[in-house]
Amino acid sequence: MTLTLDTLPGSATDGLTDFRPGFIGLRCGNCNADTPIAPKFVCAQCFGPLRARYDYASVREHMTHASVAARPRTLWRYAELLPVDRVPTDGLSVGCSPLVAAPRLAKHLGLRQLWIKDDSRNPTLSFKDRVVAIAAARARDFSFHTVACASTGNLAAAVAAAAARLGLRAVVLVPADLEVAKVMQAVALGAHVIRVDAPYDAVNRLSLELTDELDGWAVLNVNLRPFYAEGSKTIAFEIAEQLGWRAPDVVVAPLASGSMYTKIAQGVDELAQVGLIERRATRFVGGQAAGCGPIAAAFAAGTDEITPVAVPAGIVRSLAIGSPADGRPALALARSTGGSIEGVEDADVIAAVRLLAATEGILTETAGGVTLAALQQAIRRGTVASDDEVVVVISGNGLKTVDVLAELPRQVIAPTFDAFETYWATLEGPGGHS
Ligand SMILES: *Cc1c(COP(=O)(O)O)cnc(C)c1O
Ligand SMILES: [Zn+2]
């Protein structure tokens, strides 16, 4: 492939001149009652969850392979299937992350064809920039002055950066024991960072109270959730477009609340619905860490009942949600597609992070280790076969969790060849130390 200017990510999101919104309102996932476009997340009739609703017939008419291809390389190129009625001309350049062939890792795993959707390559180094791009744009449309969130780590920086770019105030609440790199990233990007002495679920409940008590505050993953959640569909849109407008046999993704995992499937389904890809059976494999894996535990037990995890344990902080909002639909998706939701041990997470780094040169955070380890388990389980074409979603960058992954070489040497030679002789040889 020749690298030309138009294959580089766009620097800004131009307004799309040919854009006809497909988004028409919100609908209750429980009783199907319709709600006009508003910053609401629960149904006024039954308190069920509100979801974005589209006019697929109109999208089918206006969104074509050619119209998408002609647009800037950001997630706004799929605007007809996003919950907006205009496309922002400012904002960060989010999405269109690379889909990289991973032949060395494929060989190691015994797979025919393996792709890495490297979503660590977003402005704040995680997939959370996608959900925040949509929610922050809508927050401004709805005239909120402050964007807030409860975060397991990556959301904090994504909200901080988006707010800075759009001229909004960012307030992020985080569990006090988060990784330093993630907290510092949000602080450095200018957010008010409030560390709370509690696990994520309690922090999340506190953030919900803020929306009730404080005028002009949008909690992006709570009261703008119907808009926020739709951002994850763009991972599916991009994978399909990057494969030449088709879906793979298997997608592997990590689960915290289960939102991204289920929205990727919804994205694939919508592309088939509007005629941009052919409908085919794709299996969805998910991963959770054993230290906080309520959805994986329910999958293993063969039940729909998700038992909340009161005190999350282990190294995978970005997935540590004890009461996952989308646990049930995630279970249903895994079961109905012939996929699985794997619970993986911390030692396997670290081994998988190292394997990805050593085979493909991609350093991911612990959540990415969960995802790759889930694929390894699914291969052993028989959910994934050697002739499957597999896409693994790597959702965050390894610099955010580097402390659990590697130790600094302890010894420091003098700047002489003698010192080098003496030191080298103490090692087992090239690659012998790690
Ligand atoms: C938030 C997050 C996810 C998934 O979160 P959901 O709540 O399941 O959508 C996955 N990976 C990383 C790195 C994250 O920060
Ligand atoms: Zn309802």
Residue recorded with tokens 């005190």: 311
Ligand closest in space to the Cα of 182: 1
Question: Residue 376 and residue 36: Cα distance in Å, rounded?
Answer: 44
What single-letter DSSP state applies at residue 11?
S
Give the SS3 label for residue 13: coil
Q: How far is CA 30 from the centre of its chain?
A: 25
Q: Residue 371: CB within 6 Å of ligand 1?
A: no
pLDDT at position 403:
81
Instruction: Check if the beta carbon of residue 281 is closer than 8 Å to that of residue 269.
Output: no
Interstrand relation of 113-118 and 146-150 (parallel, antiparallel or unpaired): unpaired
Instruction: Check if the beta carbon of residue 399 is closer than 8 Å to that of residue 257.
Output: no
Ligand 1, residues 121, 124, 126, 371: which to mutate, most atoms within 8 A of Cβ? 126
321 CA to middle of ligand 1, Å?
10
Length of the chain counted residue by residue: 434
Q: Residue 126: CB within 6 Å of ligand 1?
A: yes
Q: Which domain holds residue 315?
A: 99-124+229-405
Question: Residue 129 and residue 95: Cα distance in Å, rounded?
Answer: 8
Residue 271 is encoded by which pair of tokens?
């592309």
Question: Residue 347 and residue 334: Cα distance in Å, rounded?
Answer: 24
User: What DSSP string runs through 45-103?
Assistant: TT-PBEEEEE-HHHHHHH--HHHHHTS-SSGGGGGGGSS-SS--SSS-------EEE-H
Q: Is position 156 within any domain? A: no
Instruction: Check if the beta carbon of residue 423 is closer than 8 Å to that of residue 411.
Output: yes
Strand partners, 172: 149, 193
Q: Residue 396: CB within 6 Å of ligand 1?
A: yes
Q: Is position 348 within any domain? A: yes
Q: Residue 254: CB within 6 Å of ligand 1?
A: yes
405 CA to middle of ligand 1, Å?
19
**Residue type for 246, please?**
R
229 CA to middle of ligand 2, Å?
18
Q: Is position 118 within any domain? A: yes
Residue nearest to atom 14 of ligand 1 (CA): 318
Count of the separate structural domains present in the chain: 1
CA dihedral of residues 29, 35, 40, 41 (deg, nearest 10): 0
Question: Residue 168 and residue 161: Cα distance in Å, rounded?
Answer: 10
Ligand closest in space to the Cα of 262: 1
396 CA to middle of ligand 1, Å?
9
- Order of strands, sheet of 169-175, starting from the edge strand that comes earlier in the sequence: 192-196, 169-175, 146-150, 217-219
Q: Residue 233: CB within 6 Å of ligand 1?
A: no
CA-325 nearest atom, ligand 1: 7
Q: Is position 341 within any domain? A: yes
Residue closest to 131 by CA, chosen among 342, 382, 395, 404: 395
Q: What is the CATH number of the domain that holds 401?
A: 3.40.50.1100
Residue nearest to atom 5 of ligand 1 (CA): 256
> b/e for 369-387, b at 16 or more Cβ within 10 A?
bbbbbbbbbbbeeebbeee
What single-letter DSSP state applies at residue 33?
-
119 CA to middle of ligand 1, Å?
11
354: how many CB neighbours lie within 10 A of its CB? 16
Question: Residue 262 and residue 232: Cα distance in Å, rounded?
Answer: 9
pLDDT at position 429:
60
Q: Is position 297 within any domain? A: yes
Residue nearest to atom 11 of ligand 1 (CA): 395
Ligand closest in space to the Cα of 221: 1
Q: How many helices (H) and strands (E) are present in the chain, helices listed first?
A: 15, 13
101 CA to middle of ligand 1, Å?
23
51 CA to middle of ligand 2, Å?
11
- Residues 87, 89, 92: CA angle, nearest 5 degrees: 100
**pLDDT digits (tens), the chain, 434 positions:** 444 444 434 434 446 878 999 999 999 999 999 999 999 999 999 999 999 999 999 999 999 999 999 999 999 999 999 999 999 989 999 999 999 999 999 999 999 999 999 999 999 999 999 999 999 999 999 999 999 999 988 999 999 999 999 999 999 999 998 888 999 999 999 999 999 999 999 999 999 998 889 999 999 999 999 999 999 999 999 999 999 999 999 999 999 999 999 999 999 999 999 999 999 999 999 999 999 999 999 999 999 999 999 999 999 999 999 999 999 999 999 999 999 999 999 999 999 999 999 999 999 999 999 999 999 999 999 999 999 999 999 999 999 888 887 677 888 999 999 999 999 999 866 554 44
142: how many CB neighbours lie within 10 A of its CB? 15
Q: Is position 413 within any domain? A: no
pLDDT at position 319:
95
pLDDT at position 402:
85
Q: Is position 278 within any domain? A: yes
| Backbone angle region of 338, left / alpha / beta, with phi > 0 → left and psi within -120 to 50 → alpha | left
Question: Residue 233 and residue 266: Cα distance in Å, rounded?
Answer: 7
Q: Residue 128: CB within 6 Å of ligand 1?
A: yes
**C-alpha to C-alpha distances, 161 to 43, 158, 399, nearest whole angstrom:** 31, 5, 17
Q: Residue 325: CB within 6 Å of ligand 1?
A: no
CB-count burial class (<10 Å; 0-12, 13-18, 19+) for 67: middle
Residue 427 is encoded by which pair of tokens?
């090692």
Question: Residue 406 and residue 434: Cα distance in Å, rounded?
Answer: 8
Q: Is position 263 within any domain? A: yes
Ligand closest in space to the Cα of 130: 1
pLDDT at position 3:
42
What single-letter DSSP state applies at residue 332?
H
Question: Residue 237 and residue 218: Cα distance in Å, rounded?
Answer: 27
